[in-house]
Amino acid sequence: MDIKKEYERWLANATADADVVAELKTLDDAKIEDAFYRDLAFGTGGLRGVIGAGTNRMNVYTVAKASQGLADYLKKNYAEPSVTIGYDSRIKSDVFAKVAAGVFAANGVKVNIWPVLMPVPTVSFATRYLHTSAGVMVTASHNPSKYNGYKVYGADGCQMTPEAAKRVVALLEHMDYFASAKTMDFDAALAAGSI
C-alpha cells in the first residue's frame, strides 16, 4: 500500500466524521505512516486499536468495513442472519455500535442493539438467549482509554473461532473503506423496523 496515496484518499473521502476530518489535517509524516502503514488487524476477537484517523485506527470506516465483512459472512452461513450489538462507556462506543447496526440493517441482517451502554458479558448472554447468528460488543476492555474495539462472538456466545475469523478476513481483503460497506442511517433503520 502506498501510504501517502492512501492518506490523500482519506483526506478526500473521509468526510462523515468531523473528528477524523480534523485529525487528518494535523498529521505529520511520522503520524501518517503509523496511521496508514497497515489495516487494523481483524482476528479471532475482532478489532482493537487506537481511536483515530487511518486504516490502522478504530474509526467509523474501519468499523463499517469490519461490519460489512461480518454481514457478508453471516449471509453466506445463515438462512436468516441476525446479530446482537452492545457497547460500553468507551469513547465513541455508541457511535461505532450505531455504525455497525446501520451496516447490518442495510445488508438485511436482523439487528438487536442495546438502547443503553451495558457490561461486556451481556452481549455473549444475549447472543445465546436471542439465538442470533453473532454478537458484536464495542469495547476495548482493559486497554488504555485511547483504544476501542469490536469484539465478535459466534452464535454460541463465545469468541468467534479462528476458522470463522479467517473467513471474515478473506472477505475484508478485497473491500474498500469508502465504497464497499452498504450503510443505512441508524435512525432510518430503527424507523423501518430493521433494528
Q: List residues with catalytic annotation.
A: 141
55 membership: H or E segment, kind and range: none
Angstrom distances, CA of residue 86 to CA of 59, 83, 126, 153, 192: 17, 10, 9, 11, 20
- Which grid coordinates belong to 122? 451481556
Region label for 154, one of left (φ > 0), alpha (ψ between -120 and 50) or beta (otherwise): beta
Contact 112, 84 (CB under 8 A): yes
Burial 89-111 (b: 16+ CB within 10 A, else e): ebebbbbbbbbbbbbbbbbebbb
Q: Please tell me the distance from the alpha carbon of residue 51 to that of residue 56, in angstroms, as a whole number.
A: 9
